[in-house]
Structure 1
């Protein structure tokens, strides 16, 4: 009898989630910090201007025009000292985007094409970089991957794609100020997804254990 695909996916995600949580726990033990990953960063404000794309996604928040004042955190995942390369992170918080609650988006440096858009990529400071969500979101029209491309020190181009499809630009992020000090803000795209973009159950199983370990290790509320 062949194994059920859903059960197989859940089992694989549970195993992956346990492995990631173990890595985070070990890193927290070796290097205590407020955040085991992305321990240091800078927080600033920005404006996300959404103009929709040439190709509709079927997700109103991606397809319709609008403006959102956002909180942005730029960080280095491993926290290696400059000028060593690192994996860069771009975190966005959109206040009140979903039923009056904030929505969080976490992106990390990857490649742009398939399959590198699903692989973390190391960069040096100042390079033009591509960021993606790594894992797809569930929408009413199918899986969606989100991404951003740094076009200047103050600007990022935001786009969406099907897992193996072309990118469609839907917005522009403009940073309103110079990067400042870090702030004790905790982003969680699992509990606070963007409107019309939900997490697959296997994504929640994969990510949630490591998020819980990270919060517990730093004393942050769960």
Structure 2
């Protein structure tokens, strides 16, 4: 399985690299809105051996909401919610995509039209407790568009509950994410890398991580040089 996932990632890295050159280094999620946000870690499972999930903290973060295929709204698209947590020399990057929330549907990408929906990491993280996945679900009913301009205008104040689960087990809350004001410009050039920048005590692992690594490398190689 590891060899198949890695081989598949290397295979798709070629067309993704070509697409990245056309999309200024972003083969997927080419259009998005970046916002300031606050991550309030309220304390999650203490027996998983991951202090980052268990310990309370409040810190400013950056969030990017995006449409994965770049399809025009109101068409459904695979939506993304990326979170960057500053952490010294290396940040923590979380990349979540729209999926189901159930025991098995959490592993399946699901196109959506509105951004106030369920997102999961899809990619697993290996830790002392086994394989863990992360999720974000909106707090209460909310109407949030997914196109960058409208979402930037309406997202401030929107809150998501962050959850963690072992395998197909129950979701356990560990944090609250509150969206703030949009960046200026709306979509600055940020490079999220969930494989290289996992939370402390966790390691990106599994077929999705091995599939993603060559794609990240291809996209970064295709980025235009900095002036």
- The bucket for the TM-score relative to the shorter chain is 0.7 to 0.9
Q: Which runs of 5+ in 2 are unaligned?
A: 143-154
Match of 1:25 among 17, 40, 43: 17
Are residues 1:145 and 2:146 paired? Answer: no
Distance 2:123 2:25 in 1: 25
CA, structure 1 residues 203+121, in 2 after alignment: closer, same or farther (shift >3 Å)? closer
Secondary structure (helix, strand or coil) at the match of 2:58 reads: strand
Are residues 1:215 and 2:220 paired? Answer: yes
Alpha-carbon contact 1:137-1:200 (below 8 Å) kept: yes
Show CA shifts across 1:137-161 (max 9, x none).
0111211001101234411110000
Secondary structure (helix, strand or coil) at the match of 2:202 reads: coil
Distance 2:166 2:200 in 1: 17
CA, structure 1 residues 35+89, in 2 after alignment: closer, same or farther (shift >3 Å)? same
Q: Which runs of 5+ in 1 are unaligned?
A: 1-8
Residue aligning to 1:163: 167
Secondary structure (helix, strand or coil) at the match of 2:203 reads: coil
* Number of residue-to-residue matches in the alignment: 209
RMSD value over aligned CA atoms? Answer: 2.2
CA, structure 1 residues 54+28, in 2 after alignment: closer, same or farther (shift >3 Å)? closer
Residue aligning to 1:193: 198
Alpha-carbon contact 1:55-1:168 (below 8 Å) kept: no
Q: Any runs of at least 4 consecutive aligned residues in structure 1 with deviations exceeding 4 A, and if so which?
A: 201-204
Residue aligning to 1:4: none
Are residues 1:45 and 2:49 paired? Answer: no
Distance 2:19 2:46 in 1: 42
Show CA shifts across 1:44-85 (max 9, x none).
111000111367433111111111210111110001111111
1:40-189 correspondence runs (5 A): 40-53=31-44, 56-96=47-87, 100-125=89-114, 128-151=116-139, 152=142, 153=155, 154-178=158-182, 181-189=186-194
Distance 2:105 2:8 in 1: 19
Secondary structure (helix, strand or coil) at the match of 2:13 reads: helix
Alpha-carbon contact 1:40-1:75 (below 8 Å) kept: yes
Distance 2:45 2:84 in 1: 25
Secondary structure (helix, strand or coil) at the match of 1:159 reads: strand
Residue aligning to 2:145: none
Give, in angstroms, the shift of residue 217 of structure 1: 2.3
Distance 2:6 2:104 in 1: 23
Secondary structure (helix, strand or coil) at the match of 1:20 reads: helix
CA, structure 1 residues 141+217, in 2 after alignment: closer, same or farther (shift >3 Å)? same
Q: TM-score, normalised by structure 2?
A: 0.83
Give, in angstroms, the shift of residue 26 of structure 1: 5.2
